[in-house]
A and B are shown apart, each in its own frame.
Chain A
Amino acid sequence: MSLLEVEALDQFYRDFQALFGVSLRVDEGEIVAIIGANGAGKSTFLKTVAGLLRSDADAVRFDGNSVGGRPAYRRVSMGIALVPEGRRVFPSLSVEENLRVGGFGKRPGWWNLRRVYESFPLLSKLSTRPAALLSGGEQQALAIGRALMTNPRMLLMDEISLGLAPIIVKQLYQAIPAIVAEGTTLVIVEQDITQALGIAHRAYCFLEGRVSLHGRPADLTRDQIRAAYFGWR
């Protein structure tokens, strides 16, 4: 049994269908990358797994439980955390308050304020600053730290490199081994293929709401990826 099992998932925004029968599984301790072009349905997929969008109960199973109908705040308590697209830190709260809100659910685990500060040293220097005044990279680090404070079993990260300088992206990715070392399962959505495939054990490519390719990064050729990414034949 895999930690996350998604089976024939459809998702809609009113009349528009965003996902078509997506099936995907993630084993405990794995790093799985989801790549795909803009509008391929990657963010919709993560939002559905995190519970911000509902689905059929059985379409999303986590640790053997059907969770598709449960609200996001209850899935967090089960150990699903999402670093949302666009960071979404709480602008009027200070850095430390943002992190403490992450600990609201009191889910036991390895992560706490001190350990997040150790993994992201730049945050500890900014602890009293309102999140609204942070740079993009600092906000992204805060968004990841805040998600870690929920002590997730599975962490979903949506485009953490979006709009950031390469050197900042590199720093953020350097924190990932520490996250994985604690046994946290990771699902990473990226448009930046190289970055994502570099650390993933397995990868899925989405195209227009469907899974167009999946496999281990080492087994995938550039031509296969290109075809699955852009839909070229």
Chain B
Amino acid sequence: MTWVNAMVQGVMLGGLYALFATGLSLIFGVMRVVNLAHGVLTILAAFIAFFIVDHTGLNPLVAMAIVVPVMFTIGYVLQRLLINFTLGSGVLPPLLVTFGLAVVIENILLKVFSADSRGLDAGRIENVSIRLTSRLAVGWLPLTIFLVAVVLLVAMQLFFDRTTFGRALRATSDDAEAAQLMAIDNRHVYAVAMGLALGIAGVAGVFVGVRTTFGPLEGPVLLIFAFEAVIIGGLGSLWGTLVGGVILGVAQTLGAQLAPGWFQLSGHLVFLAVLAVRPTGLFPRVGAV
């Protein structure tokens, strides 16, 4: 039963990883940019939540309603003022610039908040659980995170499929130059995409803060998990991202069940195995580059 329990916890954890990964995947899908600052931007969202909670006493899950629009705005402005200028001359400029951005944000966070670990206290939801059987329980918090991930993915899918702007996003992803011939300003589209990606990172960041402690230097670990979820699931596939996150989460919790130190290791091993056997991931998008 401990194994089943580990598995269930792994699935829930996968929801959180899907939240990390969705923004990364969205940016790659729309503009073929790997945003190396995605992890530290998620941490930034956690610190913004920490700042709000510290000054207002709001519950962090309520503060999320402020964090998400703030992160959206940061994403939009960042794209318009910085990342748009790195596009169009190969893969290297955006990689270097987002890497540099990660270093800068990390150091600003260190300067402002110091290297101490912080946490966000969401109150009772952290401790209550649903008892499934006498020996198996699911915490409300992990379940909430998982459900929020699923709802967000459904919402994104509907946005891409059903709305005018969603179609414009997909068209820009297919062929940015042809999209301009349809009156679409691709630089605005990119900025909205970055805003959405960081808005989701905002949700993820608050959940990270509530679930565990966080510090300014933990961005790279989140980035690795996001990468692994994206690669396992298949680049450019929304639902693949969720499956990738769940596989990664289950691999980690099962590994930790074998030996506590194997939590990260087993996740990396599964990631490498998928990369070796199916380099395009489990659900590659048709026609993805």
Contacts and interface: CB of A to CB of B under 8 A. Distances in A.
Interface of A: 50-52, 71-73, 76-77, 81-82, 84, 88-93, 97-98, 100-102, 104-105, 107, 130, 132, 146-147, 150
Given A97-B167, A100-B164, A132-B287, A84 B182 contact: no
A107 B183 contact: yes
Chain B interface size, as a band, is: 20 to 34
B171 A101 contact: yes
Contacts of B178: 84, 88-90
Given A92-B286, A93-B170, A73 B180 contact: yes
A83 B286 CA distance: 25
Contact of A72 (B173, B175, B180, B287): B180
Chain B CB within 10 Å — which of A89, A92, A101 has the most? A101
Contacts of A146: 182
A72 B173 CA distance: 17
B218 interface: no
Chain A CB within 10 Å — which of B168, B174, B181, B182 has the most? B181
Interface string B85-122: 00000000000000000000000000000000000000
6 contacts: A52-B181, A71-B180, A81-B181, A92-B170, A93-B171, A93-B174
Chain A CB within 10 Å — which of B167, B175, B182, B287 has the most? B182
The 5 closest A-B pairs by CB, nearest first: A105-B183, A76-B183, A72-B180, A90-B174, A88-B178
Given A72-B181, A82-B181, A104 B168 contact: yes
A141 to B, nearest CB: 16
B286 to A, nearest CB: 7
A194 to B, nearest CB: 28
Contacts of A71: 180, 185
Contact of A88 (B167, B168, B173, B177): B177
